[in-house]
């Protein structure tokens, strides 16, 4: 079920304010400059259904059960994978995603306390078992990420308004993440240093390094 053709799937993960969107955008521009066909997506979002689910998951002004929240994020992911990510990979493109499954394991399992096995099964149903070739986890302490968001004048969403203990559990989950293709980068470094470190990993999975690109 997880199989697909020749594309490459790169995911950028990490807590709020880690620099995911900044890095995902930069990777998109850099890969395009190297002549590769690139699709850049963020989650939740990217299709009409996913954008509608995003609005409810992040902006709904009333209480919501953890399971309801989970299914909103997974509804968004299912539609994005089905309509955008899988077709792009099947067409041989590079897909760069700002967040994917690791976000759900960090926020809804470690943060909100939903059972890991059940969530893993629900994720597989939503994505058909699609696994990234590379997951770049950007690591920043909670207070550094928050300070960056404040400086960028970001309006807090429902999840960001959770307490400090929730956000520490999320960060711990990211720090413990391991598996094929998972790499951790110290994102307290300059943007340039983070981009250089991520680019080395991306070159390896896109085989750009074997074409002499540095
Ligand atoms: N969520 C979930 O619970 N479950 C799921 O399954 C999924 C998501 C998929 C999505 O929020 C929310 O959904 C998220 C988790 C939840 N909420 N929380 N918490 P979003 O898409 O609106 O936002 P975000 O992912 O939290 O992004 P963010 O706050 O924008 O963070 P970021 O993308 O990592 O950071 P950035 O926008 O690239 O950078 C923030 C600022 O820092 C900006 O001014 C940059 O110029 C600056 N920056 C970036 N890198 C650096 C470095 N290296 N040094 C200094 N300054 C930097």
pLDDT in tens, 26-36: 999 999 999 99
Rounded to 5°, the CA angle 174-175-179 comes to 80
Residues above pLDDT 90, as percent of the chain: 92
User: From the alpha carbon of 154, which atom of ligand 1 is closest?
Assistant: 29
Looking at the predicted structure, is the pLDDT value of residue 3 above 60? no
Residue showing tokens 């540095």: 214
3-class DSSP state of 136:
strand
User: From the alpha carbon of 77, which atom of ligand 1 is closest?
Assistant: 9
Cis peptide before 44 (omega within 30 of 0): yes
Domains and CATH numbers, the chain: 2-206 (3.40.50.300)
Residue of 11, 12, 13, 19 to mutate, ligand 1, most atoms within 8 A of C-beta:
19
Sheet holding 8-13, edge to edge: 38-42, 94-98, 8-13, 134-139, 182-186
Question: Using CA atoms, how far apart are residues 166 and 147, in angstroms rounded to an integer?
Answer: 17
Per-residue pLDDT band at 207 (split at 50, 70, 90): confident
For residues 43-66, average pLDDT? 96
How many Cα neighbours within 13 Å face the side chain of 44? Answer: 28
User: From the alpha carbon of 167, which atom of ligand 1 is closest?
Assistant: 19
Residue of 99, 106, 110 to mutate, ligand 1, most atoms within 8 A of C-beta:
99
Q: In whole numbers, what is the pLDDT of the chain averaged over residues?
A: 94
């Amino acid at each position: 079920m997880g199989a697909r053709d020749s594309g490459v799937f790169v995911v950028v993960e990490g807590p709020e304010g880690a620099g995911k969107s900044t890095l995902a955008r930069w990777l998109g521009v850099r890969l395009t400059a190297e002549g590769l066909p690139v699709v850049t997506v963020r989650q939740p979002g990217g299709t009409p259904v996913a954008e509608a689910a995003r609005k409810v998951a992040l902006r709904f002004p009333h209480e919501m059960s953890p399971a309801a929240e989970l299914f909103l994020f997974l509804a968004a992911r299912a539609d994005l994978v089905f309509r955008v990510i899988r077709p792009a990979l099947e067409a041989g493109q590079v897909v760069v995603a700002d967040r994917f499954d690791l976000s759900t394991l960090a926020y809804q399992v470690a943060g909100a306390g939903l059972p890991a096995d059940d969530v893993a099964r629900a994720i597989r149903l939503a994505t058909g078992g699609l696994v990234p070739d590379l997951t770049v986890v950007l690591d920043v302490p909670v207070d550094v990420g928050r300070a960056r968001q404040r400086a960028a004048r970001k309006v807090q969403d429902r999840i960001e308004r959770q307490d400090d203990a929730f956000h520490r559990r999320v960060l711990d989950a990211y720090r413990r993440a391991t598996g094929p293709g998972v790499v951790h980068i110290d994102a307290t470094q300059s943007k340039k240093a983070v981009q250089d470190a991520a680019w080395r990993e991306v070159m390896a999975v896109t085989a750009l390094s074997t074409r002499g690109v540095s």
